[in-house]
Amino acid sequence: MAARCEKKSSATGDGGNESGGVIHFVSGNPFVEVTKGVLHLYKEDEEAYFGKCGGGKSEAPPRKKSNTLCILAVPASLSCHDLMNFVAAFLQDIKHVRIIRDGSPNQYMSLITFRSEEAASAFYSNFQGTPFNSLEPDQKCHLVFVSRVETVGEEPTMLPPPAHNELPTCAVCLERMDESLDVILAILCNHAFHGGCLAKWRDSICPVCRFVQTPEAVADNRCMECLSQESLWICLLCGHVGCGRYIGGHAYQHYLETEHCYCMELGNNRVWDYVGDNFVHRLLQNKGDGKLVEGPAPEKEDDEKLDSMQMEFTYLLSCQLDSQRRMYEDRISRIEKQRGEEICELKEKTDALIDSVKQLQKTIAVLSREKSASEKKVQNLTAKVSALQSELAEEREMTKALQANHTARQNKLKAQEVEIGDLKEQVRDLMFALEAGRQVAASDMRDEIVEGQILMGESSSSSKGRNRRRNKH
């Protein structure tokens, strides 16, 4: 059992409070030595680690400073040479650059130690949220301040004696690497070089162990059902990617649903036949007729058995391909028929909707004309009502005046009737007197009547009448 050696190194300047945010990382050549560790971040940088930091350059660095920064989520397409060109403006202020990675595919991290806290703060202010290149503006530089770095190696490491600091040697120029003079670049396999020396090495692998300098980009294959990345199988007929039977069994479920019997395991190109329940990846294609045959194995010497197996596999593959062709043709015909029916139905609905829209437009036009006519009628009727109201008011005033005149006339008429009654009585008395005078003049006893006196009792009515006549005269 390999002994474990723990190496703790502080990457801060003048100390600093340790944050609760940590990032686990790993580095080293897995065939030689693997180094695991933890990055302790300042609390102000937790949002940047979780991808919530802003994209502008105007973000101010945290109040608590450190001389160590970590570039998160560097794309794997960005090589060490490209990374050094990206930070070239601050090379004179950089002591050490280290390439590390976490469990995320197609990306890595870069741990940069500066000569002073001011240089680290200036680098943060200038590069936070800056795109790595103009062709991919979405891939931006996300920086966090690191308070402490803890590493643990799987193999025993030869440590220098106490109170000694042995300078390592650059494998390219064979000169001692002094951080106080040059930039030291430690790539993913933990081998360190001068930054300028490694820039001259145009290859993307380590000059010492031939391991990659930065993580290689891998295909992001996942199960189409459960998104698992383990034990993936791809269907050779339709390209469906599913997980193995010991994960979720979605590749086998795809075979049950579609009867696609051939699938290939991603990574080792082994082909599995669900019908024969065995591997058939040793089938080779004949150059003469293009048919599939089984490749000869060293231990097989019987040509007849080989021919029979060739015919069996050829027949099996032909039958499977024919069945798949028929199944796809039937499915295509059903889909085309269904789509044709749906298109006809949609056309009918569209025509009906167009007719309805036209009818509604006609109705709207008629209603609009009727509305305009009704509005004109309403305006005319409103004017007539206003005129009639004015006339009604005038008629009411006139009626009041006529009623007042009528009352006065009636009172005057009553007074005149009373006066006429009195005049009629006077005329009657006068006529009576005249008639009496004529009768007396015509009578033989005229002298006696003239000289005589007639005494008769006076009635109350006659006395009242005479009194009235006297009063009038």
Closest to 179 in 3D by CA, of 190, 166, 163: 166
DSSP structural state of residue 131: B
Report how far residue 385's alpha carbon sits from residue 391's, in angstroms, rounded to the nearest whole number. 10
Number of H helices and number of E strands within the chain? 8, 16
Query: The tokens 């009768």 sit on which residue?
Result: 439
Crossing angle for the helix pair 303-442 and 460-472, to the nearest 10 degrees = 100
Say what the pLDDT of residue 78 is. 86
pLDDT band at 65 (very low <50, low <70, confident <90, very high): low
3-class DSSP state of 45: helix
Say what the pLDDT of residue 46 is. 43
Long-range contacts of 273-279 (CB under 8 A, 24+ apart): 273/316, 275/316, 275/320, 276/316
Cα 102–Cα 195–Cα 110 angle in degrees, nearest 5: 20
Give the range among 32-46, 104-118, 184-198, 386-400 with minimum mean pLDDT. Answer: 32-46
| Average pLDDT value for residue range 63-81 | 83
DSSP structural state of residue 39: E
Give the range among 85-99, 148-162, 195-209, 404-418 with minimum mean pLDDT. Answer: 148-162
pLDDT of 141 above 60? yes
Report how far residue 433's alpha carbon sits from residue 442's, in angstroms, rounded to the nearest whole number. 14
pLDDT band at 155 (very low <50, low <70, confident <90, very high): very low
Q: What is the pLDDT of residues 425-468, one digit of tens each?
A: 999 989 988 888 888 777 777 666 666 655 555 555 554 555 55
pLDDT of 343 above 90? yes
Q: What is the pLDDT of residues 282-316, one digit of tens each?
A: 654 443 444 544 444 444 445 677 777 778 888 88
3-class DSSP state of 186: strand
pLDDT of 255 above 50? yes
The listed range with the strongest mean pLDDT (203-207, 277-281, 393-397) is 393-397
Q: What is the pLDDT of residues 346-390, one digit of tens each?
A: 999 999 999 999 999 999 999 999 999 999 999 999 999 999 999
Report how far residue 405's alpha carbon sits from residue 409's, in angstroms, rounded to the nearest whole number. 6
Report how far residue 80's alpha carbon sits from residue 108's, in angstroms, rounded to the nearest whole number. 11
Say what the pLDDT of residue 53 is. 42
Q: Are 194 and 183 in contact (CB under 8 A)?
A: yes
DSSP letter string, 46-91: HHHHTT-S-SSTTPPPPSS--SEEEEEEEETTS-HHHHHHHTGGGG
The domains located in the chain, with CATH, are 22-43+64-152+166-199 (3.30.70.330), 232-294 (3.30.40.10)
| Both structure tokens of 193 | 């070089």
3-class DSSP state of 394: helix
pTM for the whole structure: 0.44
Closest to 153 in 3D by CA, of 343, 26, 248: 26
* Mean pLDDT over each residue of the chain, to the nearest integer: 78
Give the range among 91-95, 140-144, 206-210, 244-248 with minimum mean pLDDT. Answer: 206-210
Q: Are 186 and 214 in contact (CB under 8 A)?
A: no
Q: Are 234 and 240 in contact (CB under 8 A)?
A: yes
Give the range among 35-44, 128-137, 273-282, 302-311 with minimum mean pLDDT. Answer: 302-311
Strands (E), 364-445: none
131 CB neighbour count, 10 Å cutoff: 14
Strands (E), 76-223: 94-100, 107-114, 142-153, 184-186, 192-194
Element (H, E) at 124: helix 117-127
Residue 6 bridge partners (DSSP): 152
Report how far residue 372's alpha carbon sits from residue 368's, in angstroms, rounded to the nearest whole number. 6
pLDDT of 44 above 70? no
Helices (H), 180-302: 195-200, 250-258
pLDDT of 247 above 90? no
Element (H, E) at 272: strand 271-273
DSSP structural state of residue 43: G
